[in-house]
Amino acid sequence: MKREKFIQSLATHVPPVKRIYPVWITFLLWILFSFLTTLLFVWNRSGNFVFLHIPKYLYELSFIFFVFASSAFIAIYTSIPGNRIRDKYLLVPILFLLTWVISILLRFFINNPSSTSSDFSYHNCTKDILLMSLPPATVLIYIINRRLPMRKNWIGFLIITASASISALGVAFLCANEFPKHLLFAHTIPVILVGLFGIFLGRLIFKEKF
């Protein structure tokens, strides 16, 4: 009798099922939102695109884009129970991140390191990356939280890395300093550091639902 009452109480207090969009639709919508918010930020900071900077080393931006896209897709895909992915594919964002770092380091050592300039402000770029990453990160956290993320640390890292990467991509069109030293310390390392902070954030935000 107690068992029947318990089952009945569970049946009457079942929370409504939240509708979630398919992975690809969610991924593309978030990509679109991230690009729009980044574009608005760049538009505002560049004086209606008057002071827009066109990066010279576009191949480096391709690595940032792949960090951004792969991190976001894996975070969304693996947040749904039953969607598993091989561990080696989980390392794809890290590999692109390392490739980005290596490409900057190679350019640093190929050029004369002593000739690199430090005249540009470092903190402005880092501040822009942090500010620009807030809207994409907030929306992606909301999306993931509607699902059931199991690897909370890893999901947190992917969310913040994806958001910081699209921000670094936007800052590349605002910052005219393309010297490797500046890119490494003001653009790349902040993305890595906030990504590592995402490990702690994921564990803090995504609570057990059962």
Angle between helices 152-171 and 92-110 (to 10 degrees): 40
Buried b (16+ CB within 10 A) or exposed e, 49-61: eeeeeeeeeeebe
> Is the model's pLDDT at 8 over the cut of 80?
no
Which CA distances in Å does 84 have to 89, 92, 150? 10, 15, 11
**58-112 tens-digit pLDDT:** 888 999 999 999 999 999 998 887 777 877 788 999 999 999 999 999 988 777 5
Q: How many residues does the chain have?
A: 210
13 or 199, higher pLDDT: 199
Alpha carbon distance, N-terminus to C-terminus of the chain: 25
Pair 44, 54: CB distance under 8 Å = no
Q: Average pLDDT over the chain, rounded to whole?
A: 84
Other C-beta atoms closer than 10 Å to the C-beta of 125 total: 23
- Which pTM value belongs to this model? 0.83
Pair 133, 38: CB distance under 8 Å = no
In angstroms, rounded to a whole number, what is the distance separating the alpha carbons of residues 203 and 27? Answer: 22
Look up residue 83 and give its two tokens.
């969607």
Token pair 């975070």 is found at: 75
167 or 57, higher pLDDT: 167
Look up residue 53 and give its DSSP letter. -
Which residues lie closer than 8 Å to 205 by C-beta, 6 or more apart? 141, 145, 152, 156
> Is the model's pLDDT at 30 over the cut of 60?
yes
Give the rounded percent of residues in the chain with a pLDDT score beyond 90.
Answer: 50
Residue-level pLDDT at 36: 96
3-state secondary structure of 138: helix
